[in-house]
Amino acid sequence: MTNKISAEKKILELRNTIEKHNYNYYVLSQPIIGDYDYDILLKELQELEEQNPEFNDPNSPTQRVGDDRNNEFTQVEHSTPMLSLGNTYNIEELSDFDDKTKRFFNDNADFKYSCELKYDGAAISITYINGVLQKAVTRGDGAIGDDVTNNIRTIKSIPLKLSGNYPEELTVRGEVFMNHKTFERLNNERIENEKSPFANPRNAASGTLKIQKSSIVAKRNLDCILYYLISDNLPSDSHNENLTLAKKWGINTPEHSVTASNIDEVYKFIKYWENNRDKLPYDIDGIVIKVDSINLQKRLGQTAKTPRWAISYKFKAERVTTKLLSVDFQVGRTGAITPVANLEAVQLAGTEVKRASLHNADIISELDIRINDTVFLEKGGEIIPKIIAVDKTKRPQNSEILKYITHCPACDTKLIRTEGEANHYCTNSLNCPPQIKGKIEHFCSRNAMNITIGEATIKALYESGLINNAADLFDLTKEQVFSLEGFKEKSSANLIESIEKSKDAEFSKVLFALGIRFVGKTVAKTLAKNLKTIENIKNATIENLAEIDEVGERIAQSVHNYFTDKKSILIIERLQNAGLNFEFIEDTSSKTNILDGKKIVISGKFEKLSRDELKNLIEVNGGINQSSVSKNTDFFLGGDKVGPSKIKKVKELNISIITENEFIKLLNLDL
Ligand code: IVH
């Protein structure tokens, strides 16, 4: 019993300490311990919680990893409607707002404004009761929103518990967003996996909030700033002061907010951020101006949709005009055609822009864009330049509708466009030069075979007839490379060495390098781990493949198609002969003899590991997998939903039952 008491005490202590570190890191941006020490604390807590499941708490900092089960979003009514804001776009409109507010108080109220950044993300309303996060709801239609509590719990800048002198009942509202770095990383990953990238960080944030599995949300690294407090017991009449106090409760409130005594001061704040918003790590689309006194806010009240005490000043999207000179059609490694606009060079948000993607035929016809048109260019998500519209008043006479190409610009094969797909494709995958070069580039890339070779060298090797596919790389000699223009003794030797070294790449990387459509890095890993060898993958049926977690129909079909092509099989054979890895090698570094010949039966559903993983662990740790229980079985490793007859048999034969967590502990696994 004393053990339990001290375990509980230690658990509570660790939770408190970790929450404090989270606060320092995510809210104050001033961590006081390093990542390593933080991880140790978290691991210690995780272990204690596993050993003492009776003290589980959904608000423990260990629970931020999310849940793999599907969330069904329930609809929840907001206790106070989530209003939107009226917009202003210039100083005159803003002054009108100021005049109206003053008139409302017959010009004899002395009030201040609170000025804040207008964060561009997805609005959220979070309720805390007695300092514990209860519910998080999206805006929805303003009256009713989706309960996304499980997803919100994964955002590290949102406290699960408050500290200090917080009101018993508190609703905080704010914006969930994705910073630029995370957005770029996510989109690169999506492009790599042939998923369409998000148009901007706002879409990425709101899309992520609606994901059904919170474990995926947890990996997306969302952030949140909370700018509006609702409670009957707020400590101050000043909204701005309350936000400062709320920071002490652990709430991530706006860092750039000021109070202003008059509209000129407000305007200074606006001008400053209009000029400096590029320096922020996230998107803002304007400034929000609020009457600071809560008492006066109440007196001003609201109209049907917007409060009378607040307004937004929207920045004009940074927009420039330039001229469309020509359109190139690029062929990707999969044969997908991308039209790219060549523009007269122009400065936009600090960078020179000469090209912008036109994406596909639909976008071209929607824009009705023509050569020599004057176009409006904007930054999409502050990063990618995007053609927004055509200034038709400036269109030259006799301009012609831009015709989409019908044949591949590189090999003249007739293009196809499948129902439901946005892109046109060139199907001549084995003889179309940009596709060949693109496939070889992909094969060599860092996440694939990691061969140090540039685009120009691949081009030179291809054009001199030395390589026509990935397998040819392994037949290259130093002399052949040396014969290319610009290659010296040393650089030729380096390339051959890098190719040779790539033969050590593990199976999943080789599989990814093959460039099978929809088989990105992660899918390649999953396939390698589950099916173990290239032979098994080749022989798997579409159904077998689709059954694997995270694979699904579309990928299964694509993998199957790949292996029905004789030419792909031939390349794989040559790569096998060259000595590349086509078999999944278990990480034997963790091999032990802990299970020492013990006969184990697995049954049921498990939470942390798949049955295959468990079976493999039994083997590499010296145990023996048995398919059914008998009197010589040593352990029964039982998960959820084990049939009652099986349990009965296990009990009759007096076999020891172990749980997944006990098993993990037994093997000292680091999960
Ligand atoms: S206050 C009743 N403050 O902009 C007023 N909103 O276009 C509640 N927004 O619905 C909103 N930054 O989603 C407020 N500092 C800020 C904001 C902000 C972004 C969003 C919010 C609002 C929308 C209106």
In angstroms, rounded to a whole number, what is the distance separating the alpha carbons of residues 108 and 105?
Answer: 6
What's the predicted TM-score (pTM) here?
A: 0.64
Euclidean distance between CA atoms 613 and 21, whole angstroms: 34
Rounded distance, CA 172 to CA 210, Å? Answer: 20
The CATH number of residue 138's host domain is 3.30.470.30
If asked whether residues 209 and 295 sit together in one domain, one would say: yes
| Closest protein CA for atom 16 of ligand 1 | 118
Residue nearest to atom 18 of ligand 1 (CA): 118
Is the pLDDT reported for residue 36 higher than 80?
Answer: no
Please name which of 496, 487, 518, 522 lies closest in space to residue 508, comparing C-alpha atoms. Answer: 522
Q: What percent of the chain has pLDDT over 70?
A: 97
Tens of pLDDT, residues 267-311: 999 999 998 988 899 999 899 999 999 999 999 999 878 899 999
Examine residue 420 and state whether it is found in any structural domain, yes or no. Answer: no
Which of the listed residues 371, 394, 417 is the one where a domain comes to its end? 394
Same domain, 50 and 86: no
| 637 within 8 A of 660, measured Cβ to Cβ | yes
**Cβ(282) to ligand 1 under 6 A?**
no
Q: What is the pLDDT of residues 58-83, one digit of tens each?
A: 888 888 766 655 567 888 999 999 98
The mean of the pLDDT values for the chain is: 90
The whole-angstrom separation of Cα 283 and Cα 276 is 11
Atom 1 of ligand 1: nearest residue by CA position: 228
Task: For residues 447 and 509, give the distance between their C-alpha atoms in angstroms, rounded to a whole number.
Answer: 7
Mean per-residue pLDDT, 22-33? 76
Reported as a pLDDT band with limits 50, 70 and 90, residue 29 is low
If asked whether residues 150 and 133 sit together in one domain, one would say yes
Q: Which residues contact 153 (CB under 8 A, 6 or more apart)?
A: 58, 59, 63, 64, 66, 133, 136, 160, 214
Give me 23's structure tokens. 């606060």
Phi-psi region of 332 (alpha: psi -120 to 50; beta: other; left: phi over 0): beta
Q: How far apart are CA 391 and CA 361, in angstroms?
A: 20
Strands 310-314 and 86-88: parallel
Chain centroid to CA 279: how far?
22
d(CA 458, CA 440): 7
Q: Which of residues 394, 411, 442 is at a domain's end?
A: 394
pLDDT tier, 492 (very low <50, low <70, confident <90, very high otherwise): very high
Residue 440: band (very low, low, confident or very high) from pLDDT cuts 50, 70, 90: very high
Torsion (CA) 639, 642, 645, 647 in degrees, nearest 10: 20
In a domain, 549, yes or no: yes
In a domain, 447, yes or no: yes
Beta strands in 178-251 (DSSP E): 223-230
Is 245 within a domain? yes
- State whether 50 and 95 are in the same domain: no
How many structural domains are present in the chain?
5
pLDDT for the residue numbered 62 = 85
Q: Which tokens is 441 given?
A: 């580039």
Average pLDDT over residues 369-393: 84
Has residue 607 been placed in a domain? yes
Give the Å distance between the CA of 115 and the centre of ligand 1.
Answer: 12
- Same domain, yes or no, for 195 and 100? yes
Q: Which comes out higher in pLDDT, residue 641 or 365?
A: 365
Q: Are 663 and 614 in contact (CB under 8 A)?
A: yes
Cβ–Cβ under 8 Å, residues 507 and 499: no
- pLDDT bin (cut points 50, 70, 90) of residue 644 is confident
CATH number at residue 44: 1.10.287.610
Q: What is the mean pLDDT of residues 492-512?
A: 96
Does 266 share its domain with 117?
yes
Q: How high is the pLDDT of residue 70?
A: 53
Rounded to whole angstroms, how far apart are CA atoms 493 and 508? 27
Tell me, what CATH number does 543's domain have? 1.10.150.20
End-to-end CA separation in angstroms for the chain: 28
Handedness of CA 27, 31, 32, 36 (dihedral sign): positive
For residues 155 and 299, state if they share a domain.
yes
- Of ligand 1's atoms, which has the minimum distance to the CA of residue 118? 12
- 84 in contact with ligand 1, CB cutoff 6 A: yes
pLDDT at 383 over 80: no
Active site residue 290: no
80 lines ligand 1 (CB under 6 A): no
Residue 420 CB-density burial (10 A; 0-12 exposed, 13-18 middle, 19+ buried): exposed
Model pLDDT, residue 69: 54
Q: Give nearest CA residue, ligand 1 atom 17.
A: 118
Average pLDDT value for residue range 413-437: 92
**527 and 443 co-located in one domain:** yes
The residues, ordered by sequence, that sit 6+ positions from 177 with a Cβ below 8 Å of its Cβ are 119, 120, 121, 122, 201, 202, 205, 222, 223, 224, 225, 282, 283
Residues 648 and 554 both lie in one domain = no
**Amino acid, res. 108:** N
Asked if 275 contacts 72 with a C-beta cutoff of 8 angstroms, the reply is no
Question: Is residue 411 situated within a structural domain?
Answer: no
Residue 299 lies in a domain: yes
Q: 115, 175, 259, 314: which to mutate for ligand 1, most atoms within 8 A of CB?
A: 175
Categorize the per-residue pLDDT at 466 as very low, low, confident or very high, splitting at 50, 70 and 90: very high
Q: Which of 118, 290, 379, 525 is labelled catalytic? A: 118
Question: Is the domain of 192 the same as that of 215?
Answer: yes
125 pLDDT band, cuts 50/70/90, is very high
Judge if 562 and 447 occupy the same domain: yes
Residue that terminates a domain, selected from 257, 289, 314: 314
- Residue-range definition of the domain harbouring residue 332: 320-394
Tokens at 109, concatenated: 């109220």
Residues 310 and 328 reside in one and the same domain: no
Supply the pLDDT for residue 65.
67
pLDDT of 590 higher than 70: no
Q: Is residue 638 part of a domain?
A: yes
Q: Residues 201-241: pLDDT tens digits?
A: 888 999 999 898 888 999 999 999 999 999 999 999 999 99
Residue 512 and residue 519 in contact, taking contact as beta carbons nearer than 8 Å: yes
Ligand 1: centre distance to CA 288 (Å): 7
* Residue 587: per-residue pLDDT: 67
**What's the 118 CA to ligand 1 centre distance in angstroms?**
6
- The domain spanning residue 343 has which CATH number? 2.40.50.140
